Amino acid sequence: MQRILEKMAQKLNEYDEASLMQLWQHYAATVQDFEPSRRWEEAALALCLIQAVHWKNQLFNYNLAMTAVPPDMTYAPTVPDFTRAHRKQDGEHGSGAEPAKATVLSFPPRPANKKD
């Protein structure tokens, strides 16, 4: 199992985050519209994988920046905000725009199983 996970991680790491983030909205919409199907399950996993690449890159960049901090710590990079998606909204253009906040998918509570 560990070898399979490491191969999956290696393959996922080969993909470009920007290309993956272009698919985020597609998978988020599919996951939000639940249906008990294999298609929905795979979309949920794909969404998680996209988020995992995004999170890994933020963490990597933060740690890399920390290695460049002078010993006197006059400058230290801020801890990345893992709750924000760094993607452009549809129709948003320009380089100076603030990145849009991530869409948080809310999951309704599961109904309690009634035992007779």
Handedness of CA 10, 11, 16, 20 (dihedral sign): negative
Q: Provide the pLDDT for residue 106.
A: 66
Q: Chunked in runs of 10, what are the mean pLDDT values of the chain (116 residues)?
A: 94 90 92 92 94 90 78 63 51 50 64 59
The letter for the amino acid at 99 is P
Distance CA 97, CA 13 (A): 28
User: CB atoms < 10 A from the CB of 37, how many?
Assistant: 9
